[in-house]
Amino acid sequence: MFQNILKQEQPIVYQMLYNSLKRGKLSHAYLLSGQRGTHKKETAYLLAKSIICPHGEVFACETCELCQRIERNSYADLIYVDGREKTVKSESVENIMDRFEKTGLEGYNRKVFIIDGMEHVTEEGQNKLLKFIEDPMSEAVTAILISEQPDRILPTIVSRCQSIPFRPLDAEAVYRYCIAEGCEQLDAYLLANIYRNISIVAQVKDKKEFQSAKTIFFDFLNELSVSKEAALLELETTLLVKKKKDRAVFKAFADMLTLFFNDLLKGKKSGDVWYDQKLEFFAKTNYNNYNSFLLCFNAQQKLMPNARNNIALVLEEMIYGL
């Protein structure tokens, strides 16, 4: 059941909700905030089920027909608005208010609405929502707001919600997810430690950009352990000619190389035989690993999505420094 996953991966969130449900002291509005992949949406649905389900002891049973209907969005007095990919206009907020001013269609006298991606609700829509949060139309109505960027929500809304922050998943949790999804051990280690976000990992792991970058990373370290000059020449040729200046590939490669040199400086192991052998090899050489880390880290930062640096110049700067 999801409540067991929540207890393991977000213990503070679990305890906060457990205490509120146990004491029967529920807020009329919640704000679940944190990065992608931290189970905010699943938690919102668990809270909705727990408010409505008559069978659970503290949290919902998660197995009855009512819980299953809530999960499928077929419970008439639950509204879910997905604003993660598009702007939520004031009309959508008005529709929620209009529906919940009427008598409930279900027989449990509890109504819940969930707005996912609250930061994408227009200012006008947020102001209309604020009126409800300041003066709830009924004690039977609960608002659950989900956000990755709570700083983009009106402060007056934030101050009137019970705020429940979700901590970022640690690399180990993401690693377990990758292994469960059938990733190779090296892929799982790289994905978990670079992104630390299950939603992003799910999007990235099978993309050709990530796999191409991993191949370049693998070949580069193998070459570098034999001839630095040959490795750097091959790297410049591969990234600027064969890949046609593919920014995504170079960024992923820089992420991997930064992680490698960081692990080298910290004496960290991955569990992957090839990776750990390379760590041991470079630890015994007189290679300037700290300088290499800084060069790769700087390249990584210059390739962030909001940066507009020329990929060729960034690559040449990194190679020259190495």
pLDDT at 256: 95
What average pLDDT score do residues 155-179 get? Answer: 91
Q: Which of 15-29, 169-183, 201-215, 277-291 shows the highest mean pLDDT?
A: 15-29
Among 103-112, 168-177, 250-259, 304-313, the range scoring the smallest mean pLDDT is 304-313
Distance from C-alpha of 63 to C-alpha of 50, rounded to nearest angstrom:
12
pLDDT at 198: 77
Instruction: Select the more confidently predicted residue: 306 or 223.
Output: 223
pLDDT over 90 (residue 313): no
| Interval 228-284: pLDDT, tens | 888 888 887 877 665 445 778 888 999 999 999 999 999 999 999 999 999 999 999
- Tokens representing 310? 């020329």
Residue reference for tokens 């997810």: 177
pLDDT at 72: 95
pLDDT over 80 (residue 85): no
What average pLDDT score do residues 181-188 get? Answer: 94
Distance from C-alpha of 94 to C-alpha of 111, rounded to nearest angstrom:
16
- Tokens representing 233? 């020449």
pLDDT at 306: 55
pLDDT over 60 (residue 288): yes
Pick left, alpha or beta for residue 282 (phi over 0 → left; psi -120 to 50 → alpha; otherwise beta). Answer: alpha
Rounded alpha-carbon distances, angstroms, from residue 156 to 16, 127, 131, 167, 309? 22, 9, 10, 23, 38
pLDDT at 237: 80
pTM, full prediction: 0.65
Strand order through the sheet with 111-116:
78-82, 111-116, 141-147, 29-33, 162-165
Torsions phi, psi for 65 (to 5 deg): -60, -35
Torsions phi, psi for 266 (to 5 deg): -90, -5
What average pLDDT score do residues 66-90 get? Answer: 91
Using alpha carbons, select from 147, 143, 150 the residue that is nearest to residue 110: 143
pLDDT at 104: 64
pLDDT over 70 (residue 66): yes
| Interval 201-228: pLDDT, tens | 888 898 999 999 999 999 999 998 898 8
Domains of the chain and any CATH numbers: 2-165 (3.40.50.300), 207-321 (no CATH)
Cα 226 off chain centre by = 38
| Interval 114-162: pLDDT, tens | 999 999 999 999 999 998 888 776 678 999 999 988 999 999 999 999 9
Eight-state DSSP code of residue 87: P
Q: What is the pLDDT of the chain when averaged over all its residues?
A: 88
Residue reference for tokens 């190679």: 319
Q: Is 169 helix (H, G, I), strand (E, B) or coil?
A: coil
Q: Residue 176: count other Cβ atoms within 10 Å of its Cβ.
A: 15
pLDDT at 221: 93
pLDDT over 90 (residue 79): yes
Helices 90-101 and 123-134: angle between axes, nearest 10 degrees:
30
- Tokens representing 249? 């590939």
Handedness of CA 40, 17, 66, 77 (dihedral sign): negative
Strand residues in 45-157 grouped as ranges (E): 78-82, 111-116, 141-147
Distance from C-alpha of 88 to C-alpha of 93, rounded to nearest angstrom:
8
Residue reference for tokens 């990584």: 300
